Amino acid sequence: MIEFGKKTILITGAAGFIGAALAKRVCTENPDVKVIGFDSVNNYYDVKLKIHRLAQLAEYKNFEFIKGNLADKQAVDGLFKKYHPDIVVNLAAQAGVRYSIDHPDAYIEANIIGFYNILEACRHYMPEHLVYASSSSVYGGNKKVPFSVDDKVDNPVSLYAATKKSNELLAHAYSKLYNIPSTGLRFFTVYGPAGRPDMAYFGFTNKLIKGEKIQIFNYGNCKRDFTYIDDIVEGVIRVMAKAPEKKEGKDGLPLPPYKVYNIGNSHPENLLTFVKILQEELIRAGVLPKDYDFEAHKEMVPMQPGDVPVTYADTSALEKDFGFKPTTQLRDGLRTFANWYKTFYML
C-alpha cells in the first residue's frame, strides 16, 4: 500500500470511470489525505452512472466534490487557490475516437483548453507532481508492435488522438519552462464494472439485452490490449507517489522533469475472442439466457474512420521504474463486469 500522508490530491474527472475508481482507492487507503474531486458531470454517456460513482465517493469523509468545467479558467484557478493541491491527477477529458469525428468542439474545449488551464494553474501553484491521462490512441496506425514510449507518435488518425498527443507536448513544454514534474499515462482500452457505456464490452451488452445486433469492426480482424480498471488504478497510484526528479542540465537550466508511460495488459486479444468470452460470462451471470443466439446478433462490418487494427502495450518502462505490470486476465475482468451489470441494471 502506498501512503500519501496528509497531502491534498486533486482528481479531475472524478465522476468518470478511472477517476472515481482512483478516488475511491486513495480515500480508502489514506484516511488522512484530502481528495478533491472535480467534474462537469456532462451527458456524453448515462449520467446515472456518474451519479452512482459520486454517491459512493460521498461516503468518504476525506472526499470533497466540486462540479465545474475545466475549460472555465476562473473555476480552475479558484480551485488551485483554495486547495493548493500537492498532487494533481488530470483524468478529465472528452473521450472516444468515433465521437470526435462529429463533435470536434467538445475535444478542443475539454482536452486542449481544459488541459492548458490545468497547466497554467500548476505553473502558479506548483504542485509536487502533475499526472495526466494520455491514450494508446497516440500511436495511430503504428505498424511496430508492441507500442513503446520510445516510438514516434506523430501520425494520429483521429482528433481525439491528436488532442492527447498535444497534451504530452504541452506538458513537456511546461515541465521544461517552469520545472513542473509531470507524468503522462497512455492507457490501453480500460474496462471493468461501472465503466463507460461507449466502450465495446459495455455497448455490446446493452445491445444484446435489447436483442439488437452488435457490429464487429474490420470483420473481426482487430486486436485490443484490454486493461482491467484495478490494474490501471494500481499503476496510477504508483506513478503519483514518484514524481520525475528535478535536475539541471549542463547549461544550468532545468532538464524537464517529464515522463510518459504505457499502462496496458501487454496481451492483445482478438475481437472475436473477446466477444466469445463476454457472451460466456454474460450467460454465466444470468444477464443473458443460456440459449441466446449470438450468431444471429453479430454483424461483421469494415473498419471505422479513426480506428486502428491493433493496440499492444510495451510496459517495460513501467516495470523498470515502478516494479508493476498489469496481470488481470480478460475472463476474470469480464466476469466481474458481468456480475456488476446484473446487480446494477437487473436486480
Residues with active-site annotation:
160
Q: Are 13 and 42 spatial neighbours (Cβ–Cβ below 8 Å)?
A: no
DSSP 157: S
Within 10 A of 262 (CB to CB), how many other CB atoms are there? 28
Measured CA distances, 312 to 191, 226, 293, 298 (Å)? 15, 9, 31, 25
Decide: 240 and 87 in contact? Cβ < 8 Å.
yes
Strands (E) in 85-128, as ranges, are 87-90
Q: Are 171 and 130 in contact (CB under 8 A)?
A: yes
DSSP H or E run through 64: strand 63-67
> Given the DSSP bridges, would you call strands 269-270 and 223-224 parallel, antiparallel or unpaired?
antiparallel
* Torsion sign (Cα): 196, 198, 200, 203: positive
Contact 85, 9 (CB under 8 A): yes
Query: What are the helix (H) ranges across 8-57?
Result: 17-29, 47-57
Please tell me the total number of residues recorded for the chain in this structure: 347
